[in-house]
Amino acid sequence: MTTDLVIVGAGPAGLSAATEAAAQGLSVVLLDENDGPGGRIWQALESRGAMNAEDAAALTVIRQFRACGAAAHWGATVWAIEPDGTVFWSRQGAAHATRSRYVLLATGATERPLPVAGWTLPGVMTVGAAQIALKTGGLVPDANTWIAGQGPLLLLYTVQALRAGGRIGGILDLSDPAARWRAGRHLPAAALRFGGDLWKGLRWRQEIRRAGIQWLRASDLRADGDGRLQRIRFRTAGGMREEAADLLLLHDGVIPSMQIPRAVGCPQEWNHAQHCWQPVTDPWGATSIPGMFVAGDGGGIRGAEAARASGRIATLGIAHACGKISARTRDEAAASPRATLARLASLRGFLDHLYPPLPIRLKDATLVCRCEEVSAGQIRRAATLGCRGLNQLKAYTRCGMGPCQGRMCGTTAAEVLAEVHGVPVGEVEPFRARFPTKPLVVGELAALEQMAEHG
């Protein structure tokens, strides 16, 4: 049996796409690695319940999806997609193959790695990780926790953690003061349309200040300890400082999750405003790979509301390609989500300028590749020996060849090569990705083969 559409990822983009696709009469299978709908931003929202108007609106999207009749598999990890539309996925150690005419990748974003000295020590995590622990398990930080980096998620998590009864030792603002001035240029356009959102950011800052949390401008951060994090060191205007810490949360914004688009072979482009790679798509989210579409933050970071809009737009494009709706119906239905995207563009421009990636000043000893334990110094040496791209770097150093397949080191390793060669980082060839994009055991593959022979 061939389904019309497989959607990978059940965040805002995937859920909106599934609901729209079911409404257009397409047969849909939604696959997600988590144990329920919502992606990261709305993770466990059904069990947590709505705390504010934004949550309530998100719950409505989830409920509409629950009622739409699309098939969904939770705990389902996609590990390969064939050019003919066969999607391979595993759940609880059993592999499955789903044949489809169209695939929509709604795989969202990952946090931009922020490598500081000692970032591999247990007790150093990302802000996104702590937020997942809060949303799914109600875990809150205690006073020996420090948060470092920049970006809206850092502010949001801090406020959420404080409201949930958590405590925080201090916040290290690692951002570039000059970026504030550059972003100011985009402020009038953003303020005109998004007064509320900008105000929200200021209110978070104020709430953090009122809670008495130290907010320090810092640089040269390092994590230290014997087998686990015990203290952090950093430079402030007043010189080097040391603080006891058993949890350090790092954050430097988010970037599209490129593993599956790359493995499928989607052409990719460097987004100069957001300093990251993203798949090349047409206005409907279609890539140049036949039948393969992208929606949501995986196609470029625009946030949850834009993800919902782009999920609908891609589905309308797919419904038209399937022959379910005319070009005119498609275009008329897409007018409203397109207006949403246009409206959100000015806020994104402001945020992109306010939070450019933190300047990376890695010491030679700092690990870049966590899996294969390759340091910045090793990458610099490879570069001086003539290594110019990330795939070549694998042969030189094994950087990117561990189980994470370059997810954690790709952006940083490219920065290091660019720095040595004096070229823009967008000119450094990124890692190729190959299926399986997640490791699986041979038994899973063997069982799949038997299934194909017998069924």
Site residues, another protein (CB under 8 A): 33, 35, 40, 44, 47, 75, 77, 93, 110-111, 120-126, 128-130, 132-133, 136-142, 144-145, 227-229, 246-247, 257, 370-373, 402-404, 407-408, 438-439
Which residues, 6 or more positions from 75, have their beta carbon under 8 angstroms from its beta carbon?
A: 33, 34, 35, 91, 92
**Minimal distance, residue 126 CB to another protein, in Å:** 6
Nearer to another protein, 267 or 439 (CB): 439
In the complex, what is the shortest distance from the CB of residue 93 to another protein, in angstroms, rounded to a whole number? Answer: 8
Angle at 38 between CA 23 and CA 152, to 5 degrees: 125
Task: Give the nearest distance from C-beta 97 to another protein in angstroms.
Answer: 21
Q: Please give the Cα distance from 67 to 70 (Å, whole number).
A: 8
Task: Name which of 127 and 347 has its Cβ closer to another protein.
Answer: 127
Buried b / exposed e along 95-127 (16+ C-beta atoms within 10 A): bbebebbbbbbbbbbbbbbbbbbbbebebbbbb
Minimal distance, residue 47 CB to another protein, in Å:
7
- In angstroms, how far apart are the furthest CA atoms of the chain? 72
Residue 96: closest CA among 455, 337, 444, 454? 444
- Bridge partners of residue 450, in order along the sequence: none
Q: Tell whether omega for the bond before 83 is within 30 degrees of 0, i.e. cis.
A: no
Which C-beta is closer to another protein: that of 359 or that of 443?
Answer: 443
DSSP element (H, E) containing 390: helix 390-397
DSSP classification of residue 117: B
Q: Is 321 helix (H, G, I), strand (E, B) or coil?
A: helix
Cβ neighbours for 453, distance < 8 A, ≥ 6 positions apart: none
9 and 37 Cβ atoms separated by less than 8 Å: no
Residue 37: which of 54, 20, 13 has the closest Cα? Answer: 13
Q: How far is the CB of 133 from another protein (least distance, A)?
A: 5
DSSP-derived letter for residue 316 is H
* Shortest Cβ 33–another protein spacing (Å): 6
Quote the least distance from Cβ 364 to another protein, whole Å: 16
Closest CA to 9 of 304, 278, 444, 213: 304
Shortest Å, Cβ 108 to another protein? 9
Quickly count: other Cβ atoms within 10 Å of residue 426's Cβ: 15
